[in-house]
Amino acid sequence: MQFVKLTHSVLRELKLKGYNILRSTSKLTNEDPTWMPDTVDLVAFFDLGSIEIERISIPMEELHLLVIDDALKNIRNEDLIGSVWVE
């Protein structure tokens, strides 16, 4: 297991393994976050009343979160930042 640069190719591999989000303990101000792949129920996860959204939405303390499908569709490969933990 190791950290690798985040790219579309890596995102596609993670998606094939069943992951749908990347979480980071890095704050939004960090320009080189480290990511951990995860799988969540996206509908429940993004319910505005959810405990998870409340937990990561502390003003000025927000953490990086990346939805894999969204990143593949809307973020250019060269604009992806950070490194992701892969097996």
82: left (phi over 0), alpha (psi -120 to 50) or beta: left
Confidence of residue 40 (pLDDT cuts 50, 70, 90): confident
- Asked whether 19 and 40 are in contact (CB, 8 A), the reply is no
Query: Taking the domains of the chain in order of start, what are their residue ranges?
Result: 2-80
Across 16-40, average pLDDT: 91
Q: What local confidence, expressed as pLDDT, does residue 52 receive?
A: 60
pLDDT tens across 42-84, in order? Answer: 887 766 566 665 555 555 456 678 999 999 999 999 999 999 9
Q: What local confidence, expressed as pLDDT, does residue 34 receive?
A: 95
Confidence of residue 25 (pLDDT cuts 50, 70, 90): confident
Residue among 67, 61, 54, 66 nearest 27 (CA): 61
